[in-house]
Structure 1
Amino acid sequence: MNDNDNALFNQSLEKGLAVLRAFDAQRRTMNLAEVAEAAGINKSSAQRMIHTLEALGYVRKHPQTKRFQLTPRVMEIGYNYLAADTLVDVANPFLAELAQITGETTNLTEPDGVEMVYVARFVAPKFIPIHMPIGSRIPMYCTGSGRAYLSALEDGEVRELLAASELQRHTQQTLVDPEAILAQVSMTRAKGYAINNEELFLGDMTIAAPILGSQGRPVASVHVVAPTSRWTQAEAERRLAPAVIECARAIRTSIRTL
C-alpha cells in the first residue's frame, strides 16, 4: 500500500480500490484470504472492503463456491471515464475513416504511468491475431503507440519512464536495452511515426503516431494493426504510415477547435 502522510488521503478508499484492482484475468474469482494477499492488505481489512463492495453491488459471492468475483457494475466506472473523455468523441470519426481507408483495425490509446490504455477501437472484418478490448493495457517501451507517445517527450522524460518500466522480453524481437529503445524513439521523431514489429505479440505489427494537445504535449496515440500475415514492414510503412500521421494531425486540429 502507498505510504501517504497527507491528512486528506483516505486509506480506506485506497484499500477498496486495491481490492477491485486485484481481480483480473488470472484472478477471476478469489476467497477472502486470496483477496487480502492480492490487494496487499490484512484479512480483516479485506473482509470489510469485500462486505462494503458486495453491499454496493460491485462484488458478489458465488452461492456454492463462496468465492468472490466482480459484477458488471464495475464497468460503470470505466464507462463514465470514456463518456467524459472529449478526446474519444473527437477521435472516433477519424478512427472510423482510418479503418475504412486502410481496411485494418484502428485504435486510440492514452498514457497511464508507463503503459498505454486502449480507449477507442474500430475493428476491421479481417482477421487480427490479438484481441485488445477497450481498457486493455500495453507497455510503452515495446509498442508502436507507446513509442509514438514517447517520441513527443524530451529525452530526459523518456529515460525516466524507461527507468520506471519493467523491461522484459515478450518475444525474440523485444528490445529491452534502454539505449536501443531510445534510438527507436529518436527514429520515430524523425519519421513522424513508430512501428512495432512483433515485439509484444507474434504476428502483430502496428504503425502509430502521437496526438499532441493544445500545449504541444502528447495526450494519446493512434495506431493501425498490420498483421504480419498480410503486411511486410516496408509495405506497412509505405502505405499505412501516411494515413496514420494524417489521422493524428486531424484529431489534434479538432481538439484545438474545442
Structure 2
Amino acid sequence: MTTETKTIGIQSLQIGLNILEILAMEKEPLKFTDIQNLTSMTKSNLYKYLSTLSQFGLIYRNPHTNAYTLGHKLVQLGNVALGQSSLIEVVIPYFKKITEKTNLTVLLAVPTKKGPLISYILSADYGINIGAQMGTHLPLSSSTGVVFSAFEKDILMKEWEEKELSKFNESELQEFQGEKEKTRGVFFASKTEPLIKHVSSFSVPILNFNHELMGAITIVGITETVPKSADHLTGQYVLIVAKEISEYFGFRK
C-alpha cells in the first residue's frame, strides 16, 4: 500500500500569490470590483490582502483611478532574479546531462535581428563538425530556424524571416509552412542541416512566462543518430528538459 504525500502550503500566501498572478495575466489595471469578481473573495478579506500587498510594494493602487497594478518591488525582485540567472548559466547543467545521455552535440541559439545566434555549444565526446560555431547565425532552413519562425514574436526577427523566405521557391515555401504549423503543435522541429552534409538536428523552444521565445535547444549529430520525431525517447527527454528550463523562467503551458 502506497501513501500519497501531499504538499502542505500556507493558504493565505497562496491567495496573495493568486492575486498577483491575476494582475499579471490581465495586463491592465484592475479596480477592486474587478479583482473581487475574479477571485470570488469577500470585500473585507480582499481589502486586507490588497492593503498588505500594497504595504510591501508588491502591488500599487493609483490614487486617481483607484485601479491596481503590480508594484515596483516585483520589478526589483525580477531584475535581481534575472541578474542571478542568465539563460546560459541555467542551461549549462542541463546540457551536460543531455550530452551524457545522448552522446550528441547540443547548442543554445538566442534571438537576434540577424536570426538565431549560437551562444553556447557543448560537443559530444567523439566530436563532430556541425558546420557552425559560437557566434554563427543559423538559417531559416535549419531546425532552429523553424522553431524561431514558429514561436518568435519580435518584429525584428520577422524582418529576418521575410528576407530568408524570399530565397525559397514555391514548393519550399509550402513545405516550410507545413513544418512551421506542425512545430507549433508539438514544440519540435527536425532537419537535415543545410550547413554540412550527413548532419541532422532537431530543435525545441525555451519560452518564458509571457510565452516569448528566449532561445532554442538544438541537438546535432550524424543523420542516422538524430531522431526525426518528438515521439522518440531522445526527443521526449530533450522536450522535458526544455519544459523544465522554461518553467524556471515562469512558462506555463
In which range does the TM-score fall when normalised by the shorter chain? 0.5 to 0.7
Aligned residue in 1 for 2:45: none
Q: What count of residue pairs does the alignment treat as equivalent?
A: 168
Aligned residue in 1 for 2:103: 103
CA distance in 2, matches of 1:133, 1:158: 21
Cα 1:239–1:92 change in 2 (3 A) is same
Identity of aligned residues (%): 17
Deviation at 1:213, TM superposition (A): 1.5
Q: Say which is worse superposed, 113-122 or 127-136, in terms of deviation.
A: 127-136
SS in 2 for 1:128: coil
Provide the TM-score with structure 1 as the length reference. Answer: 0.56
Aligned residue in 1 for 2:250: 256
Aligned residue in 2 for 1:165: 164
The 8 Å contact of residues 150 and 184 in structure 2, kept in 1 or not, is answered as yes
CA distance in 1, matches of 2:84, 2:199: 31
Aligned residue in 1 for 2:134: 134
Cα 1:237–1:128 change in 2 (3 A) is farther
CA distance in 1, matches of 2:90, 2:175: 34
SS in 1 for 2:141: coil
Q: Which runs of 5+ in 2 are unaligned?
A: 1-82
The 8 Å contact of residues 227 and 235 in structure 2, kept in 1 or not, is answered as no
The 8 Å contact of residues 175 and 199 in structure 1, kept in 2 or not, is answered as no
CA distance in 1, matches of 2:135, 2:160: 21
Aligned residue in 2 for 1:199: 194
Amino acid at match of 1:145: T
Deviation at 1:190, TM superposition (A): 2.2
The 8 Å contact of residues 146 and 183 in structure 2, kept in 1 or not, is answered as yes
CA RMSD of aligned residues (A): 3.2
The 8 Å contact of residues 206 and 216 in structure 2, kept in 1 or not, is answered as yes
The 8 Å contact of residues 90 and 255 in structure 1, kept in 2 or not, is answered as no
Provide the TM-score with structure 2 as the length reference. Answer: 0.57
Which ranges of 4 or more aligned residues in structure 1 deviate by more than 6 Å?
156-159
1:30-179 equivalent positions in 2, closer than 5 A: 86-139=86-139, 141-153=140-152, 161-165=160-164, 167-168=166-167, 177-179=172-174
